[in-house]
Amino acid sequence: MSHFDAIYKVLLVDDDEDDYLITREALAEATYTRFGLDWVNSFAAGQEQIKAGNHDIYLIDLHLGRHDGFELLQYAAEIGCQKPLILLTGQGEREFDLKALSLGAMDFLVKGQFSAALLERSIIYAIRHRQVLNELQTSEAQYRGVLENQAELVCRFDRDLVLTFVNGAFARYFGWPTAQLPGRSLTSLIPEEQFDQFAIHLNQVFARQMPVTFELALPGTSTSRKWQQWTIQPLRDQSQQVHEAQGVAVDISERKSAEIALRNALIREKELGELKSRFVSMTSHEFRTPLTTIMSTASFLEMADDKISTDKRLTRLSKIRQAARDIAELLDEVLVFGKAEANRLEFVPEAINLVSFITEIVED
How much is the pLDDT for 219?
Answer: 62
- Same domain for 173 and 100, yes or no, is no
The kind and range of the H/E element at 331 are: helix 310-341
- Same domain for 113 and 16, yes or no, is yes
- Same domain for 215 and 278, yes or no, is no
End-to-end CA distance of the chain: 105
Higher pLDDT, 348 or 6: 348
Res. 284: pLDDT tops 70? no
Mean pLDDT calculated for residue range 245-254: 86
Res. 340: pLDDT tops 90? no
Res. 288: pLDDT tops 70? no
Res. 153: pLDDT tops 70? yes
| Residue-wise pLDDT tens digits, 166-193 | 888 888 888 888 889 999 998 888 877 7
Mean pLDDT calculated for residue range 33-41: 91
- CATH number of the domain at 292, please: 1.10.287.130
- Same domain for 243 and 320, yes or no, is no
Query: Percent of the chain beyond pLDDT 90?
Result: 18
Higher pLDDT, 135 or 127: 127
Mean pLDDT calculated for residue range 7-20: 91
Res. 147: pLDDT tops 60? no
How much is the pLDDT for 1?
Answer: 39
- Same domain for 158 and 227, yes or no, is yes
Range of the domain at 167: 151-251
- Same domain for 134 and 172, yes or no, is no
- CATH number of the domain at 204, please: 3.30.450.20
How much is the pLDDT for 137?
Answer: 74
Mean pLDDT calculated for residue range 31-52: 92
How much is the pLDDT for 2?
Answer: 41
Mean pLDDT calculated for residue range 334-359: 71
- Same domain for 247 and 260, yes or no, is no
Q: Which residues contact 59 (CB under 8 A, 6 or more apart)?
A: 10, 11, 12, 13, 14, 23, 85, 86, 88
Res. 107: pLDDT tops 70? yes
- Same domain for 185 and 216, yes or no, is yes
Residue 124 falls inside a structural domain: yes
Q: What is the DSSP letter of 185?
A: B
How much is the pLDDT for 357?
Answer: 77
Res. 360: pLDDT tops 60? yes
If one counts the domains in the chain, the total is: 3
Detail the DSSP E strand segments found in 118-226: 153-158, 163-166, 212-217
DSSP-assigned beta bridge partners for residue 37: 10
Alpha carbon distances (Å) from 261 to 128, 228, 268, 273: 60, 18, 10, 18
Final residue belonging to a domain, choices 105, 123, 146: 146
pTM (2 decimals)?
Answer: 0.46
Mean pLDDT calculated for residue range 77-83: 90
pLDDT band (50, 70, 90) for residue 50: very high
Res. 56: pLDDT tops 90? yes
Res. 295: pLDDT tops 60? yes
DSSP string, 86-136: EEEE-TT-GGGHHHHHHTT-SEEEETTS--HHHHHHHHHHHHHHHHHHHHH
Largest CA distance in the chain: 151
